[in-house]
Chain A
Amino acid sequence: MIGLISYLVFFTTVAAILSIAVLGLNLQWGNSGLFNGGVVAFFGAGAYTTLILGGTPQEAHLGGYQLFYPLALAGGMVAAGVMAWVVGILTLRLRHDYLAIATFGVAVAFENLMRNAEWLAGGAQGLRGFERPLHAWLGDGFTYNALFLIFVLLLLIGTYLFLQRLILSPFGRLLRAIREDEIAARSLGKNPARIRLTAFVIGSVIMGLAGGLYATFYAFISPQDVLPILTFQIWAMLIVGGAGNARGAVAGAFLIWAAWTASGWGLSRFAPVDLQLYTGSIQFVLIGLVIVGMLLWRPQGLFPEKLVVSQSGRH
């Protein structure tokens, strides 16, 4: 029983961290129509920067500033935001699939930089040496995990409420207006380029927060954590949950991550011994089927976007 609780705490922590990243993507794609194909770059910028700022000194590469944890986390968010701002200025003129390809390229470049720049973050060996906050009092066992989960959940709720307010604000309406018809928005005297850039940066900062939490939870990050598969997973979560609906984004993250882990667990437990070696491949097929099925029969996601015509305050 204690084992089950301990596992559920662990699972919920990872799912909640991924939910935060999906919320960031939801602002970009769901609310603003920006196709970010390089989620993992912003996630990774947050993760790496947090560990560099908050970790203990390591030989032969940058880092070890041992900053107070929330400061390190904030530093990770700033790094993701700055990167998004630079990338945004360069690419936001691009639309749809062009933007997707450009951001995907940024993500691949980011991974390659981290893999090769050993002076920066240890290269392919990755970045370690992060001491868990308060570990002298909390240890690194169940108590720590439980408190860390509470911390992550608070941040998830905070992010959710912030985004809900943002979407209901005039800025949120502007985002939808630009998403639906940019020329119409421009004719009303709005500046779509600036608004799009703002949304892109805010979404990326949120992804950076998720990355920082992820890296500190594992106390380790390596180029293997920032492969394109993560971008795919986060997109799958948003598509299944329902783009444009923050509640859907969170539900999608929990559902897809649960399916991902439970299918591995179930196959390892119930598949015949001869098939055990193939469970990995079977799992990929199953997950692929869920996503394809979703796109075929419920493309709007489990929780479709609620379109608000007039200001919500008037009802």
Chain B
Amino acid sequence: MNKHIKHAALTVGLAIGISAYGSAAFAQDCTTKIGAVLPTSVDWGKPIAATAQYVVDQINEAGGVAGCQIEMVLRDSQVDPKVGVDAAKALVDLDGVQVLIGAVSSGVSMPILTSVTVPAGVMQMSCCSSSTAFTGLAQEGKTRGLWFRTFATSGVQAAVGAMVARDRGHKSVAILYKNDDWGQDIGKLIAADFESVGIEVTASVALNDGQASYRAEVTEALKGQPEALYLALYPKEGTAAVREWISLGGTQNMIVANSLKSDEFRDNVGLQYLGNTVGTDTASPRSESASAFVEQYTAHFGGAPSGPGLANSYDATMIALLAMEAAGKDADGAQIASMVSKVTDPSGTPITADADGFKQAREVLAGGGSVFYQGATGNVRFDANGDVSAPAVTWGFSDAGTKELSFISLTDVDAFMASLK
């Protein structure tokens, strides 16, 4: 490590000396920019961006990446594809970033990928884009290995939802899903999973954003008299739909996706109606690093990480920075992307998801080793398409927010998913 730092200091010192700035130089005099395109003008987008910024602050305090401080230039996508693409293009061309964090919506991430980052050879790491279209694009070889996401494809979540329904002995289930790419994906996947474990799907109903009432949709889902209800919704329409569902006499046996893991949803529906609700999530808090994430986050932001995508955003940013560290100073996007497997290597040294873990990783990487990042969403590992599989948890609502009910290891998840096919 010392050799590495000394070498870096020497190089930078020399460079600054030659360019006649003269002042006492040390390694921290340089700044490396990374870009972020996130929907900060949307309520749930702000905490995702704040989490990414928090990672950058932590790493800077721990000495930066490859001897340089990191500056994250944050741009708002406004959930508008052309605004997001323009912002990404400006970050790549004007700020010269080699790593781009973002976006959240698949409809924004995709055009950024096809028209900005892939042509420019910049690595793109998304916290939250879930569309299966990315897997297809990667399989065609069109992402050139530059695309990663820390949001486990909806497959894991759907499988675990089916597992919960089976274990609780439900015979029939109705599905309500958000009518966007994520919702359509997961709605289709879970319907197939229910069928293959022998549960009847009585109805599968799409909910559009921003309606004042979902009575028609809820009534349609109620018709088949299902024993349980599966919800792949966001808090806003989730609250409205569940209120009507319960007031019309629907069952309180509910299985919900991680998007409803929010205090807003719990408070607006009322905890007394949520006793029989089980949520699924791709796993978190098993390793020490993950519970450390919750502690750190709570200490820093004054509240537990309860919105969608926060742990994913933390991991996306951290893995990107680790890969930058591994690739060294002035690496380009492709070089950084090729290092991602080196920092998520199951046979490497396990490191925690915090500043100390980063310092440890720096030493191991400088010594030519590889590390295994123990993330806030579990032991993140990317496949050839940049997708992650992940262990899973089930959770329920409690007075304090949410509590974990059970943990399903990666092996169990993989085995169960294989049994479905």
Q: Does A276 contact B86, Cβ atoms closer than 8 Å?
A: no
Q: Which residues of A contact B81 (CB under 8 A)?
A: 218, 222, 224-225
**A282–chain B nearest beta-carbon distance, Å:** 9
Would A279 and B40 be within 8 Å (CB), given that A10-B89, A218-B85 are in contact? yes
Q: Does A219 contact B115, Cβ atoms closer than 8 Å?
A: yes
Q: Which residues of B contact A268 (CB under 8 A)?
A: 73-76
* Stretch with Cβ within 8 A of A (4 or more), from B100-108, B252-260, B303-311, B373-381: B100-108
Query: Is A116 in the interface zone, CB < 8 Å from B?
Result: yes
**Mostly helix, strand, loop or mixed at chain A's interface?**
helix
Query: Is A261 in the interface zone, CB < 8 Å from B?
Result: yes
With A6-B93, A141-B119 known, 16 other A-B pairs at CB within 8 A are A3-B96, A7-B89, A7-B93, A115-B179, A116-B179, A123-B184, A125-B133, A125-B181, A128-B137, A214-B82, A224-B107, A225-B107, A265-B87, A268-B74, A269-B73, A283-B76
Q: Does A265 contact B90, Cβ atoms closer than 8 Å?
A: yes
Would A264 and B181 be within 8 Å (CB), given that A14-B82, A222-B81, A284-B41 are in contact? no
Q: Does B181 contact A276, Cβ atoms closer than 8 Å?
A: no
Q: Which residues of B contact A223 (CB under 8 A)?
A: 107
Per-residue CB contact flags for chain A residues 275-290 toward chain B (1 = under 8 Å, else 0) read 0111111011000000
Query: Is B79 in the interface zone, CB < 8 Å from A?
Result: yes
**B97–chain A nearest beta-carbon distance, Å:** 10
Among B79, B96, B118, the residue within 8 A (CB) of A140 is: B118
**Closest chain A residue to B96 by CB distance?**
A3
Q: Does B184 contact A126, Cβ atoms closer than 8 Å?
A: no
Listed from nearest, the 8 A-B pairs whose CB atoms lie closest are A280-B41, A280-B76, A224-B107, A7-B93, A124-B181, A3-B93, A218-B111, A222-B107
**A214–chain B nearest beta-carbon distance, Å:** 8
Would A125 and B106 be within 8 Å (CB), given that A3-B94, A224-B79 are in contact? yes
Query: Is B114 in the interface zone, CB < 8 Å from A?
Result: yes
Q: Which residues of B contact A260 (CB under 8 A)?
A: 83
Among A218, A225, A227, A269, the residue within 8 A (CB) of B115 is: A218
Kindly identify, within residues 27 to 85 of chain B, every residue whose CB is under 8 Å from any CB belonging to chain A.
39-42, 45-46, 49-50, 53, 73-76, 78-83, 85
Q: Does B93 contact A277, Cβ atoms closer than 8 Å?
A: no
**B373–chain A nearest beta-carbon distance, Å:** 26
A269-B35 Cα distance, complex, nearest whole Å: 12
Q: Which residues of A contact B50 (CB under 8 A)?
A: 277
Q: Which residues of A contact B115 (CB under 8 A)?
A: 217-220
**Closest chain B residue to A261 by CB distance?**
B86
**A212–chain B nearest beta-carbon distance, Å:** 15
Would A125 and B74 be within 8 Å (CB), given that A3-B94, A280-B39 are in contact? no
Q: Does B76 contact A128, Cβ atoms closer than 8 Å?
A: no
Q: Which residues of A contact B107 (CB under 8 A)?
A: 124, 126, 222-225
Q: List 20 A-B contacts (CB under 8 A).
A: A7-B89, A7-B90, A10-B86, A11-B86, A122-B133, A126-B133, A220-B114, A220-B115, A222-B110, A224-B79, A224-B81, A229-B80, A261-B87, A264-B76, A268-B76, A269-B73, A277-B46, A280-B39, A280-B42, A283-B78
Among B73, B93, B180, the residue within 8 A (CB) of A124 is: B180
A54-B304 Cα distance, complex, nearest whole Å: 49
**A169–chain B nearest beta-carbon distance, Å:** 34
Q: Which residues of A contact B74 (CB under 8 A)?
A: 268, 276-277, 279
Q: Does A10 contact B93, Cβ atoms closer than 8 Å?
A: yes
Q: Does B179 contact A276, Cβ atoms closer than 8 Å?
A: no
Query: Is B333 in the interface zone, CB < 8 Å from A?
Result: no
Would A125 and B185 be within 8 Å (CB), given that A224-B105, A264-B87, A278-B40 are in contact? yes
**A236–chain B nearest beta-carbon distance, Å:** 13
Q: Does B108 contact A224, Cβ atoms closer than 8 Å?
A: yes
Query: Is B163 in the interface zone, CB < 8 Å from A?
Result: no
Q: Does A126 contact B110, Cβ atoms closer than 8 Å?
A: yes
Query: Is B132 in the interface zone, CB < 8 Å from A?
Result: yes
Would A112 and B78 be within 8 Å (CB), given that A125-B133, A218-B115, A223-B107 are in contact? no
Q: Which residues of B contact A264 (CB under 8 A)?
A: 75-76, 83, 86-87
A3-B120 Cα distance, complex, nearest whole Å: 11
Q: Does A222 contact B41, Cβ atoms closer than 8 Å?
A: no
Among A125, A140, A229, the residue within 8 A (CB) of B184 is: A125
A59-B93 Cα distance, complex, nearest whole Å: 34
A10-B93 Cα distance, complex, nearest whole Å: 10
Query: Is A118 in the interface zone, CB < 8 Å from B?
Result: yes
Query: Is B276 in the interface zone, CB < 8 Å from A?
Result: no
Q: Which residues of B contact A309 (CB under 8 A)?
A: none
Q: Which residues of A contact B208 (CB under 8 A)?
A: 112
**B121–chain A nearest beta-carbon distance, Å:** 9
A268-B185 Cα distance, complex, nearest whole Å: 34
A200-B179 Cα distance, complex, nearest whole Å: 32
Query: Is A308 in the interface zone, CB < 8 Å from B?
Result: no
**B386–chain A nearest beta-carbon distance, Å:** 16
A11-B208 Cα distance, complex, nearest whole Å: 33
**Closest chain A residue to B183 by CB distance?**
A124
A125-B107 Cα distance, complex, nearest whole Å: 7
Query: Is A4 in the interface zone, CB < 8 Å from B?
Result: yes
Q: Does A261 contact B83, Cβ atoms closer than 8 Å?
A: yes
A299-B122 Cα distance, complex, nearest whole Å: 44
Per-residue CB contact flags for chain B residues 114-144 toward chain A (1 = under 8 Å, else 0) read 1100111000000000011100110000000
**B188–chain A nearest beta-carbon distance, Å:** 9
Q: Which residues of A contact B96 (CB under 8 A)?
A: 3
**Closest chain A residue to B87 by CB distance?**
A264
Most chain-A Cβ atoms within 10 A of its Cβ — which of B46, B82, B106, B181? Answer: B82
**Closest chain A residue to B108 by CB distance?**
A224
Query: Is B12 in the interface zone, CB < 8 Å from A?
Result: no
Among A7, A11, A116, A218, the residue within 8 A (CB) of B114 is: A218
Q: Which residues of B contact A7 (CB under 8 A)?
A: 89-90, 93-94
